[in-house]
Every structure is written in C-alpha cells, then in structure tokens.
Amino acid sequence: MRTIVARLDSDGDVLLAGPAVRAAAHAGEVVLLCGHAGAQAAGLLPGVSRVVRWDCPWIAHPAPAVRDADIGAVVALLKEVRADVALVLTSFHQSALPLALVLRLAGVPKVVARSTDYPGSLLDVRLREDPDVPEAERALEVARAAGFELPPGDDGRLAVTPPPEPAEVGPHVVVHPGASVPARAWSPDRCAQAVTALAAAGHRVLVTGGPGETALTRHVAGAHGVDLGGRTTFAELAGLLARADAAVVGNTGPAHLAAAVGTPVVSLFSPVVPAARWAPHGPHVLLGDQGAPCKDSRARDCPVPGHPCLNQVTPDRVVAAVAELVGVRT
C-alpha cells in the first residue's frame, strides 16, 4: 500500500498532519506532498518515506501563477508515485477539490478528503462535517475515513524524529518572536520586555528566528537574551525546544514544533483563527484576547490599531505562565 498524504501549506501545518501520516504509514509507504514552506517539517515526520515538493497556486502565499506546464509537471510527478490512495488534508477555509482533480488526472484510484462542496467523482470518501476540534485531530479523522488507524501504543500526539543535541546546554526558555503571518506576532518591543523580565526571574533566554529575522531577534534578545536568529536549522531548533523548560511563541510553526518535542508552550495567540483548532497540541497557556474584534477574520495584518489582542499581554503575565508550565512535559 502506497499513500500520498497532501498538506500544502507551511511547516506548522505539516507538523499537525503527523498523526495522520503515522496512521497511513502503519499500513504501508507514505509519500508526503507539501510546499517548499512545509518541507523542513516534512523531513522530521516519522513515517514519511519520500517528500514531493510543489508550491500549489491555490494554497501558497504569495500565490504563484497557474501555468499549464506546472500543472502538467505535477500530474506527471504524481503518476510516477503510483499511489493506491491519497489523503488531502486541508484547513477549514481551504477546498480539497482542486488537488483532488490533479490527483485524479494522475490516476490515483482513491481520494479521501473533507469537502462541504459537492465533489462529484473527485472524491471516493467525503467527510462533510467540519468539527471545531484541533487541526491534528481533524487530519487524523481523514486518515481513519480511508481505513487507516494509528499503530498500537501511538497516542496521536505530535511527534518528530529525534532532533540533534543542541550546542546550547543547560536550563533555558526559548522565545521565538517572529511569525509567518504578521497579525499573529507579538510586538517586538513587548517581546524584548518579556526577555528582560524572564532573565530577571532567573531564566536563561534563547531568542530564535529564521535567516530573515536576524534584526528582530537581535532587538528582542537585547542585553539579557542569547540571540540565535538565523543560526539554527529547523531540526536544530527542535533540539533547542526539546530541552527547553518552556517556549514563548505566537501561533506559528515553532509552537507546533515545541508541542511535537513535548515542551510546554506559552502561546501568544491572536484570534484571527480559532484557538480551538490551532492552539498547540500539548501543554500550553493561552494568552491574548480571544474575543477581540479581529476574531475569525483570518487577517494577515492586524486590522485593529495597536494590535490590542496581543499587546495587552504584559511581560509579567508571560513570566507567570512560564512558571506555571516549568516541569510540565509530554
């Protein structure tokens, strides 16, 4: 049995597909179809035999152009996989049907997905309901609808392959100030104040970020944190998180990476998407006004001046949340 599991967004989304991947892998080989924005996480998921990368025009942001040659190329690539079944994993605001059409053109005999829209012959198994449950559980329901179950002893939590030992050792808290969507990030000044407050409370604070976030991490680390911006791969970040007392992070990929390595999360969560679906899938403290005017807007940039849903959170509240979570692990 060979299964294509498709999750075409970013690293955090791919991590949340992990339990569904493991269920499919229990029955055979899994080929993970993802975008380049999700490829780092794809490389860490247990159960994945092969990763196929494609930046999908109706999922990726910014969206690439729809070109006949590109669609033809991905159809040819998926034909070569020779899958027996495909699981199309989507968020509640995405349609599975365009990819289902591509998979049909590639000759995949069985396609399973959620769809509120009539799928015609595009889907063999259609989940109509869209429960307000954590995203990882929604994905696992798609796998189960295809006949896949988690192996015995698998509790369905997020997981990654064992990360490398970090160069930074000893007790620490990770603060990750960036986010792929600006509306989901705490302000840099608030993050910097939190680093100072955490250091004053006796924590060693490591500030992490991607290669394009070095100015941000330098500002946030200041004189009281260790600036690791741009200095870790995704796997190395997993290693730092695995040995952290807690992670302080917005609704972005490293929050799910922390959950996958068992580290509790202080989640600075903007309500532009529902926390019921997207909060860390593990021990966490949720901070931020979940009833703010931006609720459920899916805004990429905050539509409310001053970003009050997150900027009302004070550094001392973060320090208290970290103290609440230290020692709580999965």
At 318 the pLDDT is 97
What's residue 329's pLDDT? 60
Q: In the predicted model, what is the mean pLDDT of the chain?
A: 94
Q: Which pLDDT score, from 0 to 100, does residue 170 have?
A: 82
d(CA 193, CA 183): 19
Higher-confidence residue: 181 or 74? 74
pLDDT value, residue 61:
85
Peptide bond into 163 cis (omega under 30): no
What tokens appear for 322 in the block? 């970290």
pLDDT at 169 over 80: no
Q: What is the pLDDT of residue 180?
A: 87
Q: Which residue has the tokens 């705490």?
A: 186
pLDDT grade for 116, boundaries at 50, 70 and 90: very high
Asked whether the predicted pLDDT for residue 60 surpasses 90, the reply is: no
Q: What is the SS3 assignment for 299?
A: coil
Q: What pLDDT sits at residue 305?
A: 87
Sheet with strand 284-287: strands edge to edge: 226-227, 205-207, 173-176, 246-250, 265-268, 284-287
DSSP assignment, residue 95?
Answer: -
Closest to 98 (Cα-Cα) out of 76, 77, 81, 74: 74
Q: What is the pLDDT of residue 158?
A: 97
Q: Which residue has the higher pLDDT, 166 or 72?
A: 72
What's the mean pLDDT in 243-256? 96
* pLDDT(327) > 80: no
pLDDT at 62 over 90: no
- Residues 320-326, mean pLDDT to the nearest whole number: 95
Task: State the pLDDT at residue 165.
Answer: 81
Rg (CA), the chain: 20
Enumerate domains of the chain plus CATH numbers. Answer: 2-145 (3.40.50.2000), 173-325 (3.40.50.2000)
What average pLDDT score do residues 64-77 get? 94
> Quick one: pLDDT at residue 129?
86
CA–CA separation, 181 vs 269, rounded Å? 12
Q: What is the pLDDT of residues 272-297, one digit of tens each?
A: 999 999 999 999 999 999 998 999 89
CA-to-CA dists, residue 210 to 47, 180, 227, angstroms: 26, 10, 11
Q: What pLDDT does 63 receive?
A: 86
DSSP 8-state code for residue 247: E
pLDDT, one tens digit per residue, over 89-115 is 999 889 999 999 999 999 999 999 999
Residue 219 pLDDT exceeds 90 = yes
pTM as predicted: 0.95
What pLDDT shows up at residue 11? 97
